[in-house]
Amino acid sequence: MLKEVERRVLDVKEEGRSVYLGGFAMPKDPPEMLKQRGYHMVSGAVDVAMFRQAAVEDVKQFRLSGMENGAEEDEGEEGYWSE
């Protein structure tokens, strides 16, 4: 599926329209290969960890803002958001 989407995005570029392709490098798909295939931005494994941490912090901020506004926390979602 990913290869099909990648191909379609790159086909748009060949039609003269502007596209920006970015993704995460993986062990079987290193940054060099992504660049050769037309990617403009490639993030590495360290970026994934930083992205995850930023998402966790956003969820914590969201929860705190809900509590400050008097909203009750949904107990059923605790397992979903916990680390």
Give the pLDDT score at 57.
Answer: 95
pTM over 0.85: no
Closest CA to 43 of 71, 34, 5, 83: 34
Digit-coded pLDDT (tens) for 15-70: 777 788 888 888 888 999 999 988 999 988 777 788 889 999 999 999 998 776 65
Strand partners, 26: 29
Chain centroid to CA 17: how far? 24
Reported confidence tier of residue 82, pLDDT bands at 50, 70, 90: low
Taking the CB of residue 39, how many other CB atoms lie within 10 A of it? 19
d(CA 56, CA 64): 12
Reported confidence tier of residue 74, pLDDT bands at 50, 70, 90: low
Tokens of 55: 């998402």
Give the pLDDT score at 62.
Answer: 93
